[in-house]
Amino acid sequence: MDESERLEILTEASRRRTFAIISHPDAGKTTLTEKFLLYAGAIAEAGAVKARTGRRDTRSDWMAMEQERGISVTSTALQFEYRGAWINLLDTPGHRDFSEDTYRVLTAVDAVVMVLDTAKGIETQTLKLFEVCRSLGLPMLTYLNKFDRPGKAPLELLDEIEDKIGVRPTPMTWPVGIPGEFRGVIDRVTGVFTRFERSVRGRTMATEVPLDASVAAAEEGPAWENAVDECALLEAVGATHDQASFLSGKTSPLFVGSAMNNFGVRALLDAVVDLVPSPSPRRSIDGELRPLDAPLAGFVFKIQANMDPSHRDHVAFVRICSGRFVRGVTLTHAVTGRTFSTKYASSLFGADRSTIEVAYPGDVVGLVNAGELRIGDALYARNPVVFPSFPQFAPEIFRRVRVKDPGRAKQFRRGLEQLEREGVLQVLYELDGDPLPVLAAVGEMQFEVFHYRMEHEFGAVVEFLPTPYRVARVISSDGAALLGRIPGVRVLRRGDDTLLVLFESQVRLQTVERDHPEVDFGMLLGSGFPAFT
């Protein structure tokens, strides 16, 4: 690699901002995602998000089930340009049942935007999401959403964030007016007051009217005086932005607004460009940092089938970690050692995609029809590298599954294999005996997604049968041979050949552990995001 190519890679990487939006369900995460696209000019009107080709809708909730239910059940990648920066935005499902998918996405980003509902503040899933962000060393911006509705006082929310999460919020904008009577925000850096004017149903950018302090004081009266007093208090206690403490995860720049009405969206998007770090060297499994200008390398953090129903294909989402990606380059698949062609490479925009010719560290590239790739796999050119693998979460619900129509057995097997590869849920197989596989999931909604997609994407209607199992542990083959004969215990094989032993209750597990201290039980990660060490 010559010096000019090295300089190109480093320059382009410095323009990348790769981040995820996280929140508790219904906090407004998907709405904020759409409004980022509006303010970046990637879409012309919110609420009727047209694909760049004009062929179909392409919003962050692109899956039919998501649009029908009004929930996010899968993560989505969106790439667009704003103020000279290339933004790679990953929208995540907020529901606890899809926490494993969210965790994988968070390993592929450099920062997060946490969205809080002003009325609800820190909720259980919000706290668990932050624990993962902290374990991964991700700096975090905070957005207090729905401030145009009644809710908690902003100072109360600041205390709640610091008490429950342990990170100190440093407001960059501060509201004038109480929740539900939102007038606008004061920029704490410039001191300028911006008043927002609603657009029709929030479809277009909100009009922003900057006013100087004297005009704001005259027109806003007590609301202005209260906001100024609170800003003085924030200054006195040192709640001001410091980039080093933000990058280290000690503080979180905070913004106030209403995503539905486009209030405060521009300021937050500007902060993504100004504050979020550009990509940095990634650590390999052996602990070494791979420089950004090292030979090309990346890892698969998501697999998604049937994004284009007319072609029934599947896409591997790859985070570029080093080097310059050029479409058609031949890479090595770290798991198999075989070569891998990247002829069909795409830039992702929800369900829409377009051919990509070049990409740099921080970018997310979609590799189409990459059948041999699995989540966590590394791809590299020249210098071999393997990145840390993704953990699998401990399932809590176990059900057998079968296809209702035996004539659709082929479609059932194909769908089962594909959805397992995507990580929709874990599929467990008997070592011998009952041919019906066992589906293992964190939450009920994973079964709903599986049922829906099997019917609508693979043409195989399935039914679930109950099982008595409640707890799972990883086990060695020696341990499996010993425990497989114990009543109330079942040893099954996961698709990746890992052996799992299932118990009917936590008490049964504890009894077996006491009676067989010679057996080593491996722990799966606790569902819903545990605290990592």
Give the number of other Cβ atoms within 10 Å of residue 364's Cβ. Answer: 27
H or E element, residue 111: strand 111-117
Q: Is 231 helix (H, G, I), strand (E, B) or coil?
A: helix
Mapped onto helix, strand or coil, the DSSP state of residue 297 is strand
Neighbour count for residue 255 (Cβ, 10 Å): 22
Beta carbons within 10 angstroms of residue 330's beta carbon: 10
Residues near 522 by beta carbon (within 8 Å), at least 6 away in sequence: 473, 474, 475
Q: How far is the C-alpha of 114 from the C-alpha of 107, rounded, in Å?
A: 16
User: Which amino acid appears at position 200 of this protein?
Assistant: V
The DSSP secondary-structure symbol of 389 reads P
φ and ψ at residue 151, rounded to 5 degrees: -170, -165
Give the tokens for residue 192.
């300028």
Q: Which two tokens stand for residue 411?
A: 């479609």
Burial profile 513-531: b = 16 or more Cβ within 10 angstroms, e = fewer: eeeeeebebeebbebbbbe
Interatomic CA distance for residues 296 and 329, integer angstroms:
10
How far apart are alpha carbons 28 and 345 in whole angstroms?
31
C-alpha distances (whole Å) from 352 to each of 56, 358, 393 are 8, 18, 30
Q: Where are the beta strands (DSSP E) in 257-328?
A: 282-283, 289-290, 297-305, 314-322, 325-326
Question: Which of 454, 460, 469, 465 has the alpha carbon at shortest distance from 509?
Answer: 469
Residues paired with 195 in a beta bridge: 184, 209
Burial of 13 (C-beta count, 10 Å sphere; 0-12/13-18/19+): buried
Q: Which residues pair with 352 in a beta bridge?
A: 349
> Residue 153 contacts by C-beta under 8 Å, 6 or more apart in sequence?
178, 179
Q: Which residues are annotated as a binding site?
A: 23-30, 91-95, 145-148
Query: Which residues are annotated as part of the binding site for GTP?
Result: 23-30, 91-95, 145-148
Q: Which of 136, 132, 143, 111 is nearest to 276 (CA)?
A: 111
- Among 497, 492, 525, which residue's Cα sits nearest to residue 393? 525
> Tokens 């008595």, residue?
468
